């Protein structure tokens, strides 16, 4: 970046200097519009234009340095990782990060698939403030299966590689199991409070993702699928969702405990629990 800006500044200075030289012709030579200027006046004009070019180059370099410093502040440096994080890209994943005595940290990511199955990543590594990232090559990844009889198991265990990178106040997660797609996490308490992935006792799911102008919602109600954008009215979300047969239904979603209460067309409220809480 610095090389490109410096080159632009050098070009600006060179052009200004050439212009200044053209303005400062020896006395006796014709210079349209400047025939009455003395040699001293021409020299003064050349010096003034050269000074302006120098100042312009200095200002451009200063602006470039400020932009670079701001960019580096966003992607490098220390970061408070410990705590709970919510995936704002898909709304389906949550991450818990804890610090270890040796300075490393352990991140556990839960990606809800249903009320009974959750993909889990257990990542251990050390965050490097110079690069602003934590890279790993042997994360444990498996499917947590909970059964109706109260038993559970870990299935399809494998290892993955990827990274967690600082992007302002967010974390960018890339993992080989997801083809290194971008997934941004925001720390709990810094998001809307609605975003997330929820399930109910019937294995119906609810996904809420904040977007510009509202919240995109996908919900299964008795196996029927609805989607659309709801708005925040202060105490919850409301609006119309569209079904698979193009029918629309009025929906109200209210926070309740660690989950969401969903009321469709004035009917009985349905409770959807936070997927990570349901897994514990």
pLDDT at 27 over 60: no
Question: What letter does residue 26 receive in the DSSP assignment?
Answer: P
Residue 7 CA: distances (Å) to CA of 3, 69, 72, 77: 6, 19, 22, 29
pLDDT at 11 over 60: no
pLDDT at 16: 45
> What's the CA gap between 68 and 109, in Å, rounded?
32
Question: What letter does residue 112 receive in the DSSP assignment?
Answer: E
Using only the alpha carbons of the chain, give its radius of gyration: 30
Whether 125 contacts 134, CB under 8 Å: yes
pLDDT at 149 over 60: yes
Return the higher-pLDDT residue of 42 and 248: 248
Exposed/middle/buried for residue 107 (C-beta within 10 Å: 0-12, 13-18, 19+) = buried
Q: What is the dihedral of CA 247, 264, 233, 200, to 10 degrees?
A: -120
243-252 average pLDDT score: 89
Q: What tens digit of pLDDT does each residue of 190-214 get?
A: 556 787 788 888 888 888 888 778 8
> What's the CA gap between 161 and 157, in Å, rounded?
14
Q: Both tokens of residue 230?
A: 């709801």
> What's the CA gap between 203 and 163, in Å, rounded?
32
Whether 188 contacts 84, CB under 8 Å: yes
| 117 pLDDT tier (thresholds 50, 70, 90) | confident
pLDDT at 33: 47
HSE on the CB side for 240, CA within 13 Å?
A: 6
Query: Which helix or strand (DSSP H or E) is residue 124 part of?
Result: strand 117-125
> What's the CA gap between 74 and 133, in Å, rounded?
12
pLDDT at 132 over 90: yes
Exposed/middle/buried for residue 72 (C-beta within 10 Å: 0-12, 13-18, 19+) = exposed
SS3 of 126-189: the string is CCECCCCEEEEEEEEEEEEEECCCCCEEEEEEEEEEEEEEEECCEEEEEEHHHCCCCEEEEECC
Q: What tens digit of pLDDT does each residue of 52-97 get?
A: 877 787 777 777 776 665 655 666 788 889 988 988 877 778 899 9
């Amino acid at each position: 970046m610095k090389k490109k800006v410096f080159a632009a500044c050098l070009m600006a200075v060179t052009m200004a200097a050439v212009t200044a030289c053209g303005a400062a012709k020896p006395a006796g030579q014709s210079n349209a519009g400047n025939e009455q200027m003395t040699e001293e006046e021409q020299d003064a004009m050349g010096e003034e234009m050269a000074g302006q070019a120098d100042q312009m180059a200095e200002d451009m370099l200063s602006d470039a340095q400020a932009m670079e410093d701001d960019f580096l502040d966003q992607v490098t440096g220390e970061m408070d990782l410990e705590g709970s994080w919510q995936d704002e890209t898909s709304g389906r994943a949550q991450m818990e990060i804890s610090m270890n005595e040796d300075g490393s940290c352990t991140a556990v990511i839960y990606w809800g698939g249903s009320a009974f199955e959750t993909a889990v990543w257990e990542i251990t590594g050390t965050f490097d403030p110079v690069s602003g990232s934590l890279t790993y090559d042997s994360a444990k990844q498996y499917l947590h299966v909970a059964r109706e009889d109260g038993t559970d198991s870990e299935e399809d265990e494998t290892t993955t590689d990827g990274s967690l990178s600082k992007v302002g106040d967010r974390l960018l997660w890339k993992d080989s199991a997801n083809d290194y797609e971008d997934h941004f996490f925001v720390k709990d308490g810094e998001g809307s409070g609605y975003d997330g992935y929820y399930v109910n006792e019937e294995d119906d799911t609810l996904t809420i993702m904040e977007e510009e102008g509202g919240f995109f919602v996908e919900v299964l109600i008795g196996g029927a699928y609805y989607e659309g954008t709801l708005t925040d009215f202060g105490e919850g979300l409301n609006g119309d969702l569209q079904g698979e047969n193009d029918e629309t239904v009025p929906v109200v979603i209210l926070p309740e405990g660690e989950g969401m209460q969903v009321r469709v067309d004035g009917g009985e409220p349905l409770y959807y629990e936070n997927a990570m809480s349901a897994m514990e």
